[in-house]
Each structure stands twice: as C-alpha cells, then as structure tokens.
Chains A and B, each alone.
Chain A
Amino acid sequence: MRYRNLYEKLVDSHTVKTIDAENVLLYVDLHIMNEYTSPQAFAGLEEKGRQVMRPGQQLAVVSHIIPTHAQTPRVIVDSAARLQAENLARNCSKAGIRLFGTNDPDQGIEHIVAPERGLVRPGMVILCGDSHTTTYGALGALGFGIGTSEVEHVLATQTLVYRLAKTMLIKIDGKLPFGTSSKDLVIWLISRIGAQGARGYAVEFAGSTIAELSAEARMTLCNMTVEAGARAALIAPDQTTFDYLRDKVGFEPSQWDAAMRDWATMQSDAGAQFDCEYRFEASDIAPFVTWGTSPDQAIAIDEPVPSAQEQTSPESAESTRRALRYIGLTPGQSIVGTAVDRVFIGSCTNGRIEDLRTVAAIVRGRKVASGVRAMVVPGSGAVRRQAEAEGIAQVLIEAGFEWREPGCSMCLAMNDDVLSDGERCASTTNRNFEGRQGRGGRTHLMSPAMAAAAAVTGCITDVRKLEALA
C-alpha cells in the first residue's frame, strides 16, 4: 500500500471520480455562504432552472457588510448592503438553507460561526466563497476558498471540479517564546517563505509547537496560511481537537466513539511523502508586525524597517519602495514608537474568545491612549455573549474600547468601519493590502497582545516590554 499524507487521504475520501490527471470531482460535506459572493451564484441557478441539491449541507451568514455599532435590532442603513442581506435571506428561505441573518443571536463571521456551531469536523471537505476558509484545517478538515462560479457549481451538484494541490509539510518545534502567539508564528512564517511561498500547495503543519497550540490558536494559523498563497492548511486532529469538538457536535456516546475511531486515522502515514518540506524552530519567533502592504512584509518588533537596497531582487526592491511610500515609514527606522490612530481587534483571524481574553489581560487597569480610537468587534454573537459573561467586555469598555456587534467589520471595510486617508491602524486582521481597510489607510498586522499594547501606549510597542513601561 502506498503511504499517504493527510491531504491525500482527505481528497481520496471525497473523490467521486477522477476527471483527468489534474482534476477530480470532489464531494463537499459543508458549503458556507455570505451575502456578497453568493448572489450571482443563486441568480445563475435560477437562470438555468437548477435547484440547490443538498440544502441541509449549506449554511449562510450575513458577515461582511453588516454595521457593527451597538444597536437593537440591527439595521443595515446602506441600501445596497441591505439589498444583499435581504437577497441572501430570500435565497436561503427559497432553498431551505440555514441562515444566520442580520438579527440572529448567533450571527457573526462565517469562519467563527461554523466551528463554534460544531459544523466543522475532522475529515470533512468544507468550501466557502471566501479565501479564509483555510481556517478549518485547524480541526483536520480540508477547507478552502472558491469563487462565485464555483459556489454555483457546489450549490447545484454538491461537488467541485477540483485541481489537485501539491503538498508541503511545515514542521515547527519548540516552545513559543514569551510574548508571542500563533499570530506571530504565522506572520513570521509568511515573512520567511513569502506571499507566494506556498502557492499551489496544501500545507500540513506538524511539530511540537503546533501540538501545544489550542484549537483556536490553530485556527489563527491555518486562517492566515492563505496569505502565503496556500490552497489549504491542515493540522491532524488530536486530543486538543477532540476536546474542542466534544460539546459542540453533541453526539451520543456511541456516535462519538465511532467518530473518534475514524478521526484517529486522519494522520499522515509515517513514511508519507510531501512535495516540499520546511523545518523551523519556534525559538526564532518574536512578536511580529508588518511594515508594508503585503503580509510577507513583516519584521520582528525589534528589527529596523528594511530598505529597497537590501532586497535580493529588483521586483522585491520595487515592492519595498512602493510599500514604504504608501505606509509612510523610513528604511532603517525602528517601528517601535510609530504612532497609531486606530486599533482594530477582531476578524476571522483573531476575533475569538481567547483573543479577547488576551487583550483584556493586557488592558485591564489601563486606558486606551488619548487620540486613539480602539474597537473590539467580536467574531460572533456567541463570542460576544461569552466575553460579557466572563467580564471581559467590561474590562475593555472601562479601558476605553468600543465594544461592538459581530461582523467582518474593518478587516475589509465593506461596512461603515473604514480607515480615513492616512490613518494608521494596529490591526489583528489578515491583510495589510493598499486600501484594504480604507483608501490611504495604513495597516500594521499584529497579534491581539501587540494590538492591545498599541492601544494603551498609542504607538507600536513591544508587548514584552509593556510591564516595564507601566
């Protein structure tokens, strides 16, 4: 028997048929939709007189366009955005699809809602018209983003014509250093391998560093692996995964035992081959922050902002020049002390309860620096309620953060949470692209702890030194 890695096992177990040397017809266990990448897919079905094949394996969430200021009931004032939410509701109602709509208590960001509802399980294939669907690899599911034409294909056939990826193993060993998290780990990783370092690959993460991460921390890692160009990210399920899932899936004991037996086989075989392998030591990781406009343009907090001259290729020299011009930093300067106007805590990368606990632990008894506008946007209604029950919300409010309603919010600024031209933001999100958070807005990606430190000091700060500054 041929040894197989985890990715190959997941693809094999979902292959309805082989189409050609490059493509298979892949069965989809769960398909998740939002309000802005699905409308044209539903319209396409209607035009052709086609039906949604398996409504029970679909899920929809209003996530991207929804305003997040506190309001009951929530109202989408922007007429175009409201039409998107209403259109999604109409499409779901007609097809019999479960929707987490504008005023559903469990509404939130799709990639936070689906796992917390117990719908993401090891061994599944899960697709969504959103690139951050790689998140689900954290629980041993093969998740990846698709476009709207593919959304239509999945709705009509419960399958996808899928171009097979190459496989990459990234093994990271050792304890994460003080002051760092899986967010630092992933930004550091992307800065090492580059924004297209994993393009065309399904990445499996392994090693003791990964084993030590919580399920939520793994979601942060797998979520952002797409910023290295990866088609998917995977972590083999283990006890951490099972502990996370047990209450959420709500299986009977016999069902649970059977599932556990099946899930235990979802590991790469010893001797399985990968097309590419990396090995790293966690001791190299420090609090990382982006200085540029691509997620790979990142440095450790105590490193100087790089120059175009030190780049190894003309293309990356040009990218560096362009990024520095946009972001308004000078080569060689320290990034510590760079004043920020805004702080954003949230997104499918870092909008979970553990992220908010981290922020609260740092800002407890401190105040958001004057002149800084700091927002916390929980990833879902459930995260928001949990944070309120734990007293985290109160800590954040007392520190001067805006405590907002769930949604994607300023991660991509499709709603009214937008940076103004020239505003600089410490952000726990996933993309520092030009204009992503608002035209002319300057985004520095970092961990929740680092963003919390920026909020209370008013500038980019080494969170490891925060105690000394107090």
Chain B
Amino acid sequence: MANTKNQNADDIIVAGGGCYDQRHYEDHPDLGTDLISYEHVISPGSFELEREAIFKRCWINVGRDIRLPKVGSYFTKEIEILKTSIIVVRGRDKKIRAFHNVCPHRGNKLVWEGDPSEEKSGKCMAFFCKYHGLGYALDGKMQVLKDPDNWFGTQGEDLHLVEVPLEPWNGFLFVNFTKGGPKETLREYMGEHIWNALDDLPLDLYTEHVSGKGEINSNWKTLHDAFSEAWHGATLHSEAMVSLRNIIFRAPPTRFDGAHRTAIACGTVPDDYYSFELERVSRSSVTGTRMPPAQPIAAPRAAFNEDQTDWVAVTYTVFPNFQFQVYAPGHIMTYNYWPLAYNQMRFEINQYYQAPRNFSELFAQKTGTAIVLDNIYQDLGTLEATQRGLESCVYERYPLIDEEHNIRHFHKMVDERLRAYQQEVAGAKI
C-alpha cells in the first residue's frame, strides 16, 4: 500500500471552503438559538399528528419515471404512515398515473405477491384482483367484470380505481393525498428555485441505478437530521474520512424556500488525493465514484452563487422526506425517509450514474457504492443509539450549534405544521 498519498489533513479542504466565518443565526434570526425539544421524535401521538398535518398534505416523492420505461410498467409503493399502498403505472397513452392499490369490490389489496406488505413491480396490460378476478385497465377503469349479470344495476361496471394526484419533477414522481385535492401544484409547492434547479442536468443520461433499503429503529426525522449536517462526518466517519479528522465544519449558507432548502458542500479534493489504496485504484471514495461521467456536468445551481465552481455536493431537500443530491464530478443520490412508527422508519437510497464506458468506470461506481454503504451503516447504527438516548427522557431540551441550523429549520417546519393542524382541528370543534 505504498502508493497512497496520505497527505496532511491540513493540506486538504473538502468542505466549507471559504465560508469559515459564516454565522448562520445572523442570516436566519427567525430560527433562533434556543434549545429545542425532541418530543415529536419520541411521541406516538406526534406520529399520528404527522400523518394528518404533513403526509396527508404535502407532495411526496414515490420514485422516478425510469422505473416505468414501457406501457404497462408499474410499481407499487407502500406508504405506511398513510396506511396505504399505491400503484404507479404508465398507461397506454404513455401518461404516468397513481392509484390507490385497493380493489373497489370488497377492498382487497389489488397488486401484491407473496407478502401483502411487500412492494412489487413489473409490466402488465391490466390489474386483476386475486380475490374474485376483476380486472382494471391501466387508466383505472373497469376492464374485466366477472359474472356481469349478477351485479345490481351498474354497480359492477361503475367500479374503478381511485386515482391519486401525481406530478413529475424532472422525472421524479410526486403524489399528493390532500383531502379534496392538492391545494397547490408541485411547482408552487417547491418554489421556483428548486423547481428549476436541475434544468442544466442531463438527467436522461443517468440510466444506471443502485437502490438500497433498510428499516431502522429510529424516528424518521432523526436520520433526516443526520443527513442535514456534515459536521458528524469528522467524528462518526473518521475511519473513512481521514482528511476530515482535524477539520471544523462550517458549511456555506443554506437557501431556504419555505420548508424546502438548498445546501452546498464546497471545497476541492485534489485529483491525486486518496486516503486508501482502495480509493486510489478504484478512483472512488466515501462520496462515491470520482471518475467524471461521459458527459461532464456544470456545477448545479447552488444556494446563492451561480458561479460556484469548487463544489463537492449540492443537496435539494424537498419537505418533508425527500433529498436530491448531486455529487462532484457527476453522480446523483436521492434519499427517502419513510415513517413506520414514532420509533421506526424505512430509509431508501438511490444512486444514479451515467452509463459506464469501460470497466474502470463501472468499477469506480460499484466500489464507490460499497464505500458509501458502509458509511451509511455507521449512520444507521448511530441512529438507533440516538433514539434510545432520546427516549430515556433524561433531558427535556437539546442545544444545536450554529452548524446545525438546517436541523433547526427542519424541526421548525415540522412544529409549525403540527401546531397549525392542531389549531385547525380545535377551531373546527368550536
């Protein structure tokens, strides 16, 4: 292992470059500096409130359209906090629609296999209920009615699947469960900055896909918090992030657009800097592959400085539970945080690459994925420790440092929505 260049950590700046004197609380005085409560992380009641106040009212990402390449391609998505499952399908008219995954005759779950709690994907020209064989077309309408003479009036032929409003953002599919329909379009919900953020990214070239899924005994917001600051990397991931061990993180300013945010990790990693032989020979690291994609990409539209050139990653956080990250020199990761209970969640990670042109590029992608995964294991293991610590209720409130202002903002957004919903319900009872 003689060839690795273990440079002095002082020589390397991988994050926070040029922004060390930034004090976020001065830019965002509305976020305050007080201790915060984690009551909504350890409370079953808050989990129930989040269902009504957040997940039944926000646009929720359920996947990407490349999973639906052909007419009839479909996948199901379990959304446990809403106690529902949906089918997302490309119709004969090429349009992508979402439907509640429930047969309107007797309420059986329509599309599943083996275990009804498991998700399923595939291709078909109609959905047939396993119970009585009723068939529904790709647009949700009744297609095959069994024993048509035995139904009362038009009750059978009137059966159709219930559509869930769906809108795409650069191929990423969002659904909305607001009672009576969405109060705003996805574009209005996101705001113009995030809506336009990916305009220059050649997403159609990102055809290579790695997906990961795990269930963790932790509240969903605890992981959201972990991936809302990079400060923990220097400690928790010190084995892998050798160059960060002595660095004090000071992230550049975050841009907040309502409940959403854009954050950038800037800095540069010299092309010839690697901490391990594995990284050097594969040209990958803890942030994934370091090989430029076939079509190089420009720096993504970051928070404030459109001309930012020294960037490591840009993260677009779409409230409540979706993050889209562009990593230098050009691969993509998305995170979805799904609540399962107040102290349990499912985490989904998806990586997208441009097609590799040769073995070395494929090797870098695969090895990068392996390194990323191992570091995520550390994050997830720590989460369970955090949840246990919080649930002991030793402390009522906790301090956040200035670097953790994204967490402060996220919890404020959650609190505001829970409070507004409670006031709405209280008002309705008067």
A binds B: no
